Amino acid sequence: MMKKTLVALASLSAMAGAAQAQSSVTLYGIVDAAVRYTTNHGPGEDSLVKVVGGGMSQSRWGINVNEDLGGGLRAVANLENRFLADNGANASVAGGSWSQSWVGLQSASWGRITLGRQYNVLFDVTTSTFASFKYSPYIEAYKPEIALSMGARNDNMVKYALTVGGFTGELQVSAGEGNPLSATNPIGGKSFGGMAKYVAGPFAVGGAYIEREDANGVKADGYVVGAAYTSGPLYVSGGYAVSSFDQGFNSALVMAGSGYDNTFGYPASVGGAAAAGNVDNRSLWYAGFTYQMTPAFNIGAAYWAIEQEFHTAGLGKPKADFFAIIADYAFSKRTDAYAGFDFTKIDGPIVFTDSPADDRTGFMVGLRHRF
């Protein structure tokens, strides 16, 4: 009897091990904090020193689920929460606590379909193909390119992705579902779009298009194209993006700021805050490089230029130039320290919302751990 019991327990143990091998739940995350100094804050154009809860990367934790369903089919899911490492508060996420929350099916032959809150195609193609920096696609505290990502994420999305050889394509559609795009919900509302990229050896090229609609049915669309080249320790990238808006669409709904210290507005001469509904288009081009100087140390630099036009003629063209240098030292595969310099210059009918100055300089030193 004892022998039969031991055999049964051994069989159950083996079955449990096999089931466990076919399914995985992975906890991952980033904890990032930095000390940041910037010039020209407030009416007196004073300097500002603060601890920011994400210098290179926004702090986060998440769960990835991957289950083998057999026959080349897998179930996948993701939940991700963003937070501020400096004070432990949740990062601002419109409409809910999770920056990502989706579930889907993935096949080796016919691709992957996912449903829920997830990144849009503009963000996907830029980040995966021609991001500004090689090892950290964006500087969390200073990211001008995010301003043309049309919100970066969308709620209620169905996304299909397929990779064949060096080609990857994606299609997305988001239903409104009584969850309209608004000032308090920049990732809601209807959307549709697609992206394509191609990687061949050291070269990568891609582009994407998306259309979004506000609560009143007024539309905006955006596209991005870019390329990158990687050769040994050298990475070079560049891109061009345009967002266009129907008359009356509030461009502020889908244009995130360029970081903690570069939030822009419009002076009274062009209608102040109301001018956001008079924007015709905004364009951006950028170029960047990263160089791996040693296995542990890399340095990168990038330049971005943004220009904007209004529907109403004669209001002028707001312009902004951005430049950043980042040096990063890896203590290990998981922990690194970084230092950065950035400079912003604005011109035309555009202002910093917290200062009368037309330029700003920033310095940053931080520490990041990935798990």
Per-residue pLDDT tens digits of the chain, which is 371 residues long: 444 444 444 444 444 444 444 889 999 999 999 999 999 988 888 999 999 999 999 999 999 999 999 999 999 999 999 999 999 888 866 656 789 999 999 998 999 999 999 999 999 999 999 999 998 999 999 999 888 899 898 999 999 999 999 999 999 999 888 778 877 777 888 999 999 999 999 999 999 999 999 888 899 999 999 999 999 999 999 999 999 999 999 888 886 555 656 677 888 888 887 888 899 999 999 999 999 999 999 999 999 999 999 999 999 999 999 999 999 999 999 999 999 999 999 999 998 888 889 999 999 999 999 99
Please tell me the predicted confidence (pLDDT) of residue 291. Answer: 98
- Beta strand residue intervals within 13-72, DSSP E: 23-41, 46-52, 60-70
**Domain tally for the chain?**
1
| The model's pTM | 0.88
Cα 187 to Cα 179: distance, rounded to the nearest angstrom:
9
Per the domain annotation, does 126 fall within a domain?
Answer: yes
**What SS3 class is residue 359?**
strand
Per the domain annotation, does 62 fall within a domain?
Answer: yes
CA neighbor of 285 nearest in space, from 242, 230, 246, 333? 242
Please tell me the predicted confidence (pLDDT) of residue 1. Answer: 47
Per the domain annotation, does 4 fall within a domain?
Answer: no
Q: Which residue range is the domain that position 172 belongs to?
A: 26-370
Per the domain annotation, does 98 fall within a domain?
Answer: yes
Per the domain annotation, does 263 fall within a domain?
Answer: yes
Please tell me the predicted confidence (pLDDT) of residue 19. Answer: 46
Per the domain annotation, does 325 fall within a domain?
Answer: yes
Please tell me the predicted confidence (pLDDT) of residue 96. Answer: 66
Please tell me the predicted confidence (pLDDT) of residue 92. Answer: 64
Per the domain annotation, does 266 fall within a domain?
Answer: yes
Please tell me the predicted confidence (pLDDT) of residue 179. Answer: 79
Per the domain annotation, does 19 fall within a domain?
Answer: no
Tokens of 262: 């570069």
CATH number for 243: 2.40.160.10
| Stretch (H or E) spanning 173 | strand 167-174
